[in-house]
Structure 1
Amino acid sequence: MAAVKIAMDDFMPPGTRVKGDNEQLAQCLSRWDTYDVSVLQPSEELFFIRFFPVTSRCGLDVMVLDAGAVYAVDSKGRILAVQ
């Protein structure tokens, strides 16, 4: 859970609001309940955390291809990579 929290705080720090031309989409992408989060732990020392938006949770029928991210976080809480 610590690795997830570290990635979350980097991906969308508390108080952050997404900006964009589509205000409804920006509001949607600013909410944590919009995102699915998955964790893969290939070893004791490495976690991959993926954030993927599900805009239908906001009543929107749009696909956003560049709104998510994948983080590699080590067991010491360091972000090793972000895609």
Structure 2
Amino acid sequence: MLYLSSRGREFLNMVGALVVDECGDETLIGLTVPESDYFLKHQEFTDQRLIHQGASRFQVLMDRHLLARQQALPLKPA
């Protein structure tokens, strides 16, 4: 499960970008660049310990998001 604030989870659900697989792992998928920027700018941490780790957590989150987008996009013929 991704560590998300209630506001972040609400936004991701609103845009249909939060996918849960059969193992219960959450993945971000289908966000446009502006939506990703909006999410990053407005993500709020409720746990003060994670504020200092925020940059690395966002990196992991966005890496998973980009991987999921690559897997979801069909290959275009050349």
Higher relative contact order (CA 8 A, sep 6+): 2
| TM-score, normalised by the number of residues in structure 2 | 0.30
| TM-score, normalised by the number of residues in structure 1 | 0.29
Structure (1 or 2) with the greater helix fraction: 2
Structure (1 or 2) with the greater strand fraction: 1
